[in-house]
């Protein structure tokens, strides 16, 4: 008589490409990224970072009712978006506006939704940051945790039945793995062999609940094997690692007709939402360590700089331009209620 051990002695390794200084590890294997794609990735990461800062401040000023940021998770947003195609269905949680940004959702459209004016595609019936766009194959955000996962499997199965060269990509946090919908979705996807990519943003906290109080398993990656889903653990603050893993996952999902689970290890630097104060349950020095030493945007900038694709002058110009654009859009809408800006 032999029982299967509740856990292995060694943790599942984490796939990384760039070290903390933005330099590739020796003999690291990754999908090559062109200069054009790399520059757009960095531009969008900076834009996302800036948009979060301005809209967060707008909420604190009473201009909008609610907001949450992607601080610390910009690489997961942008790099995963860069690795998939526009025909792929995206079924988000609520911390993936970068995917929409990559696909061409304008700053005006983001502002319309957050301010709930009549140009908002949801006609002001959703909370701020609950984006959705038929044009960009981006399902509307739902606040309820993990309900999007079975929906993504159904969408992927429909793509398979229609013989489309596309997959569904869905996002969720580590807290989502504690919901029954997560387990149902993984089993559903494995049985139907649906081309769906599950991307778990394991940032260590389900609002104020740490992962140590959520599960005793080796993170989320091992849960895939239990349901017959091919899985990988990736450094979520490494844009090249995320890009490479999602790129490979898409090829397997569509080419082999199978679901893939990606666990991206990261850290939520900001508060969970504007309704939260994370310093009540997390040490301030822990937050600052992640903010200053593990910032995915800084790490990726160091890599493009080392390739000769970026410099300080371009950096200053980009950040100044993006900040002016976001402030102009938000102030114009909140003060005058204008629906379009004239350029």
Q: Are 82 and 40 in contact (CB under 8 A)?
A: yes
What is the rounded CA–CA span in Å between residue 155 and residue 132?
A: 16
Per-residue 3-state assignment (H helix, E strand, C coil) for 217-262: CCCCHHHHHHCCCEEEEEECCCHHHHHHHHHHHHHHHHHCCCCEEE
Burial class (CB in 10 A: 0-12, 13-18, 19+), 212: exposed
What is the rounded CA–CA span in Å between residue 164 and residue 162?
A: 5
**3-state DSSP assignment of residue 134:** coil
CA 289 and chain centroid, separation: 21
138: annotated active-site residue = no
Q: Which of 272, 282, 299, 301 is catalytic?
A: 272
In sequence order, which residues have a C-beta less than 8 Å from that of residue 229 and are 6 or more positions away? 186, 189, 190, 198, 258, 259, 260, 261
272: annotated active-site residue = yes
Burial class (CB in 10 A: 0-12, 13-18, 19+), 121: middle
- DSSP 8-class letter at 140: P
Q: Which of 268, 282, 299, 301 is catalytic?
A: 268
Residue 340 vs residues 98, 109, 274, 328, 335: alpha-carbon distances, Å: 22, 10, 27, 11, 13
201: annotated active-site residue = no
Q: Are 131 and 51 in contact (CB under 8 A)?
A: no
- One-character DSSP codes across 46-90: HHHHHHHHHHHHHHHTTSSS-----TT-HHHHHHHHHHS-TTSEE
Sign of CA dihedral 247, 151, 108, 316: negative
Q: Which of 11, 60, 225, 281 is catalytic?
A: 281
Query: Which residues have a catalytic role annotated?
Result: 268, 272, 281
């Amino acid at each position: 008589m032999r029982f299967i051990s509740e856990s292995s002695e060694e943790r599942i390794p984490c796939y990384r490409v760039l070290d903390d200084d933005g330099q590739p590890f020796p003999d690291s294997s990754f999908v090559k990224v062109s200069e054009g794609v790399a520059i757009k990735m960095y531009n969008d990461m900076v834009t996302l970072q800036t948009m979060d800062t301005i809209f967060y401040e707008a909420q604190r000023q009473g201009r909008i009712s609610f907001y949450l940021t992607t601080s610390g998770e910009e690489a997961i947003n942008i790099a995963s978006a860069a690795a998939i195609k526009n025909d792929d269905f995206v079924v988000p949680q609520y911390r993936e506006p970068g995917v929409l940004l990559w696909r061409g959702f304008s700053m005006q459209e983001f502002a319309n939704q957050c301010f709930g004016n009549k140009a908002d595609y949801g006609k002001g019936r959703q909370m701020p940051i609950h984006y959705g766009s038929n044009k960009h194959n981006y399902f509307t955000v739902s606040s309820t945790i993990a309900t999007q996962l079975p929906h993504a499997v159904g969408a992927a199965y429909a793509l398979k039945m229609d013989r489309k060269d596309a997959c569904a990509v869905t996002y969720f946090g580590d807290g989502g793995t504690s919901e029954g919908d997560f387990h149902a979705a993984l089993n559903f996807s494995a049985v139907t062999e649906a081309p769906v990519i599950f991307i778990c943003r394991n940032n260590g906290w389900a609002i104020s609940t740490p992962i140590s109080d959520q599960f005793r398993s080796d993170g989320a990656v091992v849960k895939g094997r239990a349901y017959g889903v091919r899985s990988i653990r990736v450094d979520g603050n490494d844009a090249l690692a995320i890009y490479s893993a999602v790129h490979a996952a898409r090829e397997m999902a569509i080419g082999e007709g199978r679901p893939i689970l990606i666990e991206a290890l990261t850290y939520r630097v900001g508060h969970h939402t504007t309704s939260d104060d994370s310093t009540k349950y997390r040490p301030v020095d822990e937050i600052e360590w992640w903010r200053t030493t593990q910032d995915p945007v800084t790490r990726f900038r160091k890599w493009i700089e080392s390739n000769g694709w970026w410099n300080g002058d371009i950096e200053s110009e980009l950040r100044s331009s993006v900040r002016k654009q976001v402030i102009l859009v938000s102030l114009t809408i909140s003060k005058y209620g204008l629906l379009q800006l004239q350029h």
